[in-house]
């Protein structure tokens, strides 16, 4: 028996019936003799609704007041869930982020947790109470409420698990684990028994959308064992932990990211410092560049292409166009209708030929690759957007069926 942190996402607490379902899961853990700390998100679409409400009043509200507003969503859930447990005759107390307290830095809207004070938490646990903590929020050095950024409740849960040295942090959600692929694209995608932190981080940033990126980073840093599970079915989920794995899979997953735009700067002077100038300009405007490709020089010029998120494309083109002369380039082209498809898995470290296998799958499906990028445990290709689903299916079949 130990300390368990359980986190329930917004869809798991969306109405009264679901709140009682969640109460049942908590009671099971408590009845088994564990100390139980629970983190919850705002119910259903509450956070989106609050954002809309704010927009009706003020198109540019201060981030401080947005945080005061958005933190109320989670505050509603902790009270309702505590009431459900009270009704079932369990000892329980709810705590907001500032009551706990979860101390953050000063960045409203995207705060980082600096410290979780555990005195109140351990006192409550020692009294035998279930503690329900509001996710996604904290308090800064001037006693203002802060929020951690969308999806931040996962991070709250991991931070509490780390601070309390919990035995496990269970993330309950409306899917029952991490899959080899989005089951909406590949219906026979498999659920993984486990996945390493690094693999999960790659998948999370590729748009797998199961866990908040920062929560995985934090779990890795503090060695928190995570498990992604279903709120509704009592079955094993997916464990996220250090490298070791029981399943021998070449890759862990295939992911697709449609939020990609490609920009090509054509005819850049083939002299030192051009790439530096170009990407420094973009960095100054906080534009995140992903895949970069430089062509072989010809006639003393070269082409440099790279990708950015679609929302940053226009701005990137504008800055580069303004500096075309300084870069010694002739023109800029762009393409929004592309997708990034990636495979992830630490199996590729020890197995040559993984990339070739991916490219073969694409060749068999007659899909043209525009750009390629790799890391130790990831291979990404850029392809036409309308081919993305077909590509994901072909690659998934290649690795998981052949
Ligand atoms: N309620 C917040 C959101 O919708 C935080 C969370 O759910 O994790 O982003
Ligand atoms: Mg979430």
| Predicted confidence (pLDDT) per residue in 265-283, tens digit | 999 988 899 999 999 999 9
- Convert the pLDDT of each residue in 90-136 to its tens digit: 999 999 999 999 999 999 999 999 999 999 999 999 999 999 999 99
Provide the domain limits for residue 355. Answer: 338-400
Span 369-378, mean pLDDT?
92
> Tens digit of pLDDT for each residue in 219-237?
999 999 999 999 999 999 9
pLDDT higher than threshold 80 for residue 37:
yes
Question: Which of 29-38, 209-218, 258-267 is least confident?
Answer: 209-218
d(C-alpha 18, C-alpha 233), whole Å: 12
> Is residue 316, in this structure, part of any structural domain at all?
yes
pLDDT of 364 > 70? The answer is yes
* C-alpha to C-alpha distance for 159 and 34, rounded to whole angstroms: 19
88: domain CATH number?
Answer: 3.40.1160.10
Q: How far is the CA of 39 from the centre of ligand 1 (A)?
A: 11
Question: Are 168 and 307 members of one domain?
Answer: no
Question: Is residue 73 pLDDT above 90, yes or no?
Answer: yes
Question: For the domain that residue 343 is a member of, what is the CATH number?
Answer: 3.30.2130.10
Whether cis (ω within 30° of 0) applies to the bond prior to 101 is yes
Q: Contact, 233 vs 369, CB < 8 A?
A: no
Buried b (16+ CB within 10 A) or exposed e, 232-253: beeeebbbbbeeebeeebbbbb
Position 249 confidence tier, pLDDT thresholds 50, 70, 90: confident
Using CA atoms, how far apart are residues 270 and 327, in angstroms rounded to an integer? 10
- Pocket probe for ligand 1: among 8, 39, 41, 214, the residue whose CB has the most ligand atoms within 8 Å is 41
pTM of the model: 0.86
- Show which of 143, 174, 205 is a domain's final residue: 174
Domain-ending residue, one of 157, 174, 191: 174
14 Cα: distance to centroid of ligand 2 (angstroms):
13
Lining ligand 1 with CB less than 6 A are: 10, 41-42, 47, 73, 135-136, 150-153
Lowest mean pLDDT among 84-88, 91-95, 159-163, 205-209: 205-209
Return the best residue to mutate from 12, 71, 74, 152 for the ligand 1 pocket (most ligand atoms within 8 A of CB): 152
**Bridge partners, residue 271, by sequence:** none
Tell me, yes or no, whether 67 lies in a domain.
Answer: yes
Confidence of residue 208 (pLDDT cuts 50, 70, 90): low
Number of domains in the chain: 3
Q: Which of 140, 174, 208 is the last residue of a domain?
A: 174
Do 315 and 364 have their domain in common? Answer: no
pLDDT band at 247 (very low <50, low <70, confident <90, very high): low
Strands of the sheet containing 168-173, edge to edge, are 92-95, 130-134, 35-40, 3-8, 168-173, 226-230, 238-241, 194-196
């Amino acid at each position: 028996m130990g300390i368990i942190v359980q986190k329930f996402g917004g869809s798991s607490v969306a109405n009264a019936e679901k709140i009682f379902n969640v109460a049942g899961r908590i009671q099971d853990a408590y009845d088994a003799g564990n100390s139980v700390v629970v983190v919850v998100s705002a119910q259903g679409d509450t956070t989106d609704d609050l954002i809309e409400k704010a927009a009706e009043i003020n198109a540019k509200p201060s981030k401080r007041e947005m945080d005061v507003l958005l933190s109320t969503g989670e505050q509603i859930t902790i009270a309702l869930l505590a009431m459900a447990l009270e009704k079932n005759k369990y000892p329980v107390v709810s705590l907001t982020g500032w009551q706990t307290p979860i101390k953050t830095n000063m960045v409203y809207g995207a705060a980082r947790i600096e410290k979780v004070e555990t005195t109140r938490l351990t006192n409550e646990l020692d009294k035998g109470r279930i503690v329900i903590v509001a996710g996604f929020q904290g308090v800064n050095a001037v006693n203002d409420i802060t929020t951690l950024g969308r999806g931040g409740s996962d991070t709250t849960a991991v931070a509490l698990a780390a601070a309390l040295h919990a035995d496990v942090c269970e993330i309950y959600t409306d899917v029952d684990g991490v899959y080899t692929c989005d089951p909406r694209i590949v219906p026979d995608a498999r659920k993984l028994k486990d996945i390493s932190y690094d693999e999960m981080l790659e998948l999370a940033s590729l748009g797998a959308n199961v866990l908040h990126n920062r929560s995985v980073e934090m779990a890795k840093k503090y060695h928190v064992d995570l498990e992604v599970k279903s709120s509704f079915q009592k079955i094993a989920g997916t464990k996220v932990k250090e490298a070791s794995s029981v399943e021998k899979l070449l890759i862990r997953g295939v992911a697709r990211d449609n939020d990609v735009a490609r920009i090509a700067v054509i005819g850049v002077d083939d002299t030192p410092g051009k790439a530096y100038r170009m990407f420094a300009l973009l960095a100054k405007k906080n534009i995140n560049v992903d895949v970069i490709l430089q062509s072989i020089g010809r006639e003393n010029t070269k082409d440099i292409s790279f990708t950015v998120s679609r929302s940053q494309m226009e701005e990137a083109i504008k800055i580069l166009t303004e500096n075309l002369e300084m870069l010694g380039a002739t023109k800029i082209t762009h393409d929004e209708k592309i997708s990034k498809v990636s495979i992830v898995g630490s199996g590729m470290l020890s197995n040559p030929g993984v990339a070739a296998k991916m490219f073969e799958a694409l060749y068999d499906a007659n899909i043209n690759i525009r750009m390629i990028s790799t890391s130790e445990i990831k291979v990404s290709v850029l392809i036409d957007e309308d081919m993305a689903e077909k590509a994901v299916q072909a690659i998934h079949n290649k690795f998981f069926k052949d």
